[in-house]
Amino acid sequence: MLWHVEIVVRIPHDAGPEEIKALSAAEVERAKTLQREGKWLHIWRIAGKWANISVFNVKDGAELHEILALLPLYPYMKIKVTPLCIHPASIENERTVELQELAADRSVF
């Protein structure tokens, strides 16, 4: 199941800079791992903010909650989650078939 997730990070003014730096580094590594696992499909930074818009592909809301709650910066996050489904006008399935056919044609060479 696909999920649109908007995350805004709000660090308190009294937070220790070294702790936040360490948590941020751990956050980047966790995000990369989840992307390699195919669970965090896309991530875009929102310009001018410590925020992102992401798309996750997980089994259900419980799995998504577990993933988000284990992010290192989770205690400082405001999160908005929206479940997604394929729109009837989407050509995604057509594109997938076209790309598979193109890849098959190129493998001949």
Number of domains in the chain: 1
8, 5, 9: which is closest to 55 by C-alpha?
5
pLDDT at 49: 97
- Residue-range definition of the domain harbouring residue 92: 2-106
Is 48 in contact with 3 (CB distance < 8 Å)?
no
The pLDDT score that the predictor gives to residue 23 is 96
pTM for this predicted structure: 0.80
* pLDDT at position 109: 44
41 burial type by CB count under 10 A (0-12 exposed, 13-18 middle, 19+ buried): middle
Beta bridge partners of 45: 52
CATH code for the domain in which residue 102 is found: 3.30.70.1060
- The series of mean pLDDT values per 10 residues for the chain, 109 residues long, is 96 94 97 97 96 96 98 97 86 66 59
> Do residues 72 and 30 lie in contact, with contact meaning Cβ atoms separated by under 8 Å?
yes
CA-closest candidate to residue 77, choices 31, 9, 13, 23 = 9
Angstrom distance (rounded) from CA 78 to CA 94: 36
Backbone angles phi, psi at 48, to 5 degrees: 80, 5
Closest to 53 measured CA to CA, from 12, 82, 28, 33: 82
